[in-house]
Amino acid sequence: MVNWRCFVTSGFLTTIFLSGCGNWAKSPGQNSKQVIEEINVAQLMTKANETQKAEDYFNKGNHLSNLHRYDEAIAAYDKVISIKSKSAEAWINKGNALTALQHYDDAVKSYDEAISIKADKHEAWFNKGNVLIKMQRYEEALASYEKAIAIKADKHEAWINRGITLTKLQRYQEALASYDQAIAIQPNKHEAYYNKACTYAIQNKTELAVKNLKKAINLFPGKYRQLAKTDSDFEKIRSNKQFQELIQ
């Protein structure tokens, strides 16, 4: 889940002029101006209070999400949205909570709301792609990852997930190029090496699969040695001596 910064609240510095006996000497135009100024001050104060409430609900939603209390988090984000309907961040975090609850259709709608507010939110495109791949809507997922990358070219997570999507679509050379791009951005990204190994193994390219799996294990030995033992992507090379030695 993505961590979000809080809303920035504006501090309104205002001066309220109290009415006194001397004000009766002012012209009607001066009195009207004072009324308008006081109305403007009240509007600014109301806006500041609403912004603070929205921030409080947003922080509450994030706290509840961290506690995995996703239904309550969604209710908090809905409070934010009721105050600030154009908060892309609230729509994104609501989408994240819906994703955690496996309410994928609603999550996609939430990310789409964020995108309609701010089309350059790479987080919304990326998270939407993650949901779409869970729904096996691979072409749409690919398009979402490519939108995220177009906005933030160094988003290595999007390059990795784009590679996974391309592998699902059996576009293996493009997938490998996508993993390589992630590695160029973040050389020690173990997920990229592991997924490269999977893509090579699917193609029965044993030597390259073992080479990349070894890199992933060296970077994160406790995870990938165990994962590779049961991962169906390695079925074609499972009996290979080098592979067996590597996962022992």
Determine the Cα–Cα distance for residues 124 and 120; give it in Å rounded to an integer: 9
Domain range enclosing 78: 40-123
pLDDT at position 42 is 62
The answer as to whether 196 is a domain residue is no
pLDDT at position 37 is: 65
pTM of the prediction?
0.80
In a domain, 98, yes or no: yes
Q: Find out whether 7 and 54 touch, Cβ atoms under 8 Å.
A: yes
Task: Decide: 163 and 179 in contact? Cβ < 8 Å.
Answer: yes
Contact 155, 126 (CB under 8 A): yes
Mean pLDDT computed over 24-47: 59
Per-residue model confidence as pLDDT tens digits over 174-184: 999 999 999 99
Residue 53 lies in a domain: yes
- Identify the pLDDT of residue 29: 55
CB 185 within 8 A of CB 159: yes
Q: Is residue 62 part of a domain?
A: yes
If we measure between CA atoms, which residue out of 114, 112, 122 comes closest to residue 152? 122
The amino acid at 142 = L
Buried b vs exposed e over 26-45: b needs ≥16 C-beta within 10 Å?
A: eeeeeeeeeeeeeeeeeeee
Question: Residue 12 above 80 pLDDT?
Answer: no
Helix (H) or strand (E) holding 167: helix 156-168
The answer as to whether 206 is a domain residue is no
CATH of the domain at 104: 1.25.40.10
The residue among 188, 189, 206 whose CA lies nearest residue 197 is: 206
**Structural domains of the chain, count:** 1
Residue 76 domain flag: yes
Summarize pLDDT for 39-97 with one digit per residue, the tens.
666 666 667 777 889 999 999 999 999 999 999 999 999 999 999 999 999 999 999 99
DSSP conformational letter for 136: T
- 85 occurs within a structural domain: yes
Domain for residue 241, yes or no? no
pLDDT-derived band at 164, boundaries 50, 70, 90: very high
Give the Cα separation of 165 and 195 in Å (integer): 11
* Cβ atoms of residues 240 and 221 within 8 Å: no
